Amino acid sequence: MGEFELIARHFTRPSLPDSAVVLGVGDDGALLQPTPGHQLVISTDMLVEGRHFFAGAEPETLGHKALAVNLSDLAAMGARPLGFTLALALPVADDAWLAAFARGLFALADAHGCPLVGGDTTRGPLNLCITVFGEVRPGRALRRDAAHAGDELWLSGCTGEARLALALRRGEAWATGDVAAVADRMDRPTPRLALGQALAATPGVHAALDVSDGLLGDLGHILRASHLGAEIDLSSIPVAPALRGLAPEHQRDCLLAGGDDYELLFTAEAAAHDAVLAAGRMAGVAVTRIGRLTLEQGLHVRDAQGQAIHATVRGFDHFAD
């Protein structure tokens, strides 16, 4: 199977009705028609074998995850997806692998009306790079630098299950439970697109990001960009059932520093509290107030007794020692 046959067989599909795509796969470039007056949102994420997923990982799962982590970035901007490109490096053109990969990829793409509009295909160590294109109303994007002092800090869903799944797979001694109960949280993250768009349309919602490298580390990005600090009330963070049997310090690490959650962490003025709850209901996702933003810089995490817990705002850094 040659490069062009591979693209035609696995990555060329009939165009979706009502999509922004004027011209898709097959020309030198794609043509997208955003809604007049809207701003484009563009984001890229790469998944590298051995770094972001295990060698030999299931291809259908990879197809889902490669797109999901990108759609999660659009969700965190409050954007509506328009389309995506796929740059693929493959060691071999394995038809069964590609078919399964495409199945996982397009199931998620179709669920969100986000068509594949182009890409690049080359031989090389397995590497999946997706760029997503979305749109927002001008001024409505949920930026990291837009938090205000006094904002409430909110989290969608719950954190830590993906970290537990990783630990169970690696056989880390502290991890207990059934990997099957949490595997999907690691392998098949759910991009919170409906919530992101509902929040972007809610007056008083200010800043957001998606939690990929741990709640505290990612919160640090909002704090630095907005020149603010935060207080987090540990006991208000929801604990998924799978985490309830863990020793307290490990449970806390999962909640605060586990990666790969792809939940939204966002800030909104207190007057928007009920509107935020309504946005969560509309999107079908639980949203929980877990703290607040402060003019004073620094991050303070308190336990149920009000005692300070030592915490750092360092998330996962691929190039840290």
Q: Which residues contribute to the site for ligand ADP (CB under 6 A)?
A: 7, 11, 25-28, 86, 88, 116, 118-121
The nearer residue to ligand ADP, 7 or 75, going by C-beta atoms, is 7
The nearer residue to ligand ADP, 62 or 200, going by C-beta atoms, is 62
Q: Residues 285, 166: contact at Cβ < 8 Å? A: no
The nearer residue to Mg ion, 35 or 44, going by C-beta atoms, is 44
The nearer residue to Mg ion, 24 or 214, going by C-beta atoms, is 24
End-to-end CA distance of the chain: 42
> Which listed option, Mg ion, ligand ADP, none, makes contact with residue 116 (CB within 5 to 8 Å by class)?
ligand ADP
Distance CA 113, CA 56 (A): 29
Binding mask 221-250 for Mg ion (x = CB under 5 A): ------------------------------
- Please work out the total of residues on this chain that contact Mg ion, with binding judged by CB under 5 A: 1
The nearer residue to Mg ion, 94 or 120, going by C-beta atoms, is 120
CB of 225 to ligand ADP, least distance (A): 33
Residue whose structure tokens are 């935060």 = 230
Q: Residues 257, 283: contact at Cβ < 8 Å? A: no
Distance CA 250, CA 16 (A): 45
Distance CA 109, CA 113 (A): 6
> Which listed option, ligand ADP, Mg ion, none, makes contact with residue 28 (CB within 5 to 8 Å by class)?
ligand ADP
Cβ atoms within 10 Å of 67's Cβ, excluding its own: 28
CB of 240 to Mg ion, least distance (A): 42
Looking at residue 150, what DSSP letter applies? T
> Which listed option, ligand ADP, Mg ion, none, makes contact with residue 283 (CB within 5 to 8 Å by class)?
none
The nearer residue to Mg ion, 28 or 274, going by C-beta atoms, is 28
Tokens matching residue 191: 């991009």
CA atoms within 13 A on the CB side of 252: 15
Distance CA 176, CA 64 (A): 27
27 binds Mg ion (CB under 5 A): no
Q: Cα-atom radius of gyration of the chain, to the nearest Å?
A: 20
Among 94, 95, 110, 120, binds Mg ion (CB under 5 A): 120
Q: What residues make contact with Mg ion under the rule CB under 5 A?
A: 120
